[in-house]
Amino acid sequence: MTSPRDVAVFVGSLRKESFNRKMAKAIAAIAPATLKLEIVEIGQLPLFNQDFEASPAPEVIAFKERVARADAVLFVTPEYNRGVPGVLKNAIDVASRPYGKSAWNGKPGAVISVSPGAIGAFGANHQLRQSLVFLNVPALPHEAYIGNAAKLFDDKGALINDDTREFLNKFLQLFDKWIERNAAPRG
């Protein structure tokens, strides 16, 4: 049997008890055996500054190496002011530079946006997809907006909504096929 595909998961919220972190953990727990999802932390990254490209910080080097090692990428993000949270945009920028040496290039991706509101962080989802097009990340065309997040988890952070769990299972199956179709051949 082939080893599972390595999916790097990026959570757009730094809050330890964020709905997005809970969702990322829930998704990792129900992922098919063909996928291994791992949350990659982004809060330690310095703010992108092109002046630092010649001598990147160790955190930047390690982050870019982790992104490059992944078979695919999954973004789980809230929406701040109808857009992508700054910390997630910074992580995207850091791993995309210097120009022509993007760690994101060609990685199959997917976006799940999560919000306590009714529209499920629609604005962040679409803004993130615009960046992914530029970065040559073929994004799964199936969109995932998850609203009313405060009602989806128990007090321990476990996903308790069966409809959401079923939706996520279907989404992960589609993502698995998308990765298989778009990932670089295994050596």
Where residue 134 sits, what CATH number does that domain have? 3.40.50.360
In a domain, 40, yes or no: yes
Q: What is the pLDDT of residue 187?
A: 62
Which residue bears the tokens 């530029």? 134
Assess if residue 57 is contained within a domain: yes
Please give the chain's pLDDT, 187 residues, in tens.
Answer: 589 999 999 999 999 899 999 999 999 999 999 999 999 999 999 999 999 888 999 999 999 999 999 999 999 999 999 999 999 999 999 999 999 999 999 999 999 999 988 877 888 999 999 999 999 999 999 989 999 999 999 999 999 999 999 999 999 999 999 999 998 876 6
185 belongs to a structural domain: no
Q: Which domain holds residue 83?
A: 5-179
- Residue 186 domain flag: no
> What whole-number distance in Å separates Cα of residue 18 and Cα of residue 78?
9
* Number of structural domains the chain divides into: 1
Domain annotation covers residue 131: yes
Judge whether 187 lies within some domain: no
pLDDT for position 183: 86
- The Cα–Cα gap between 107 and 138 comes to 7
Q: According to the model, what pLDDT value does residue 165 have?
A: 96
In a domain, 184, yes or no: no
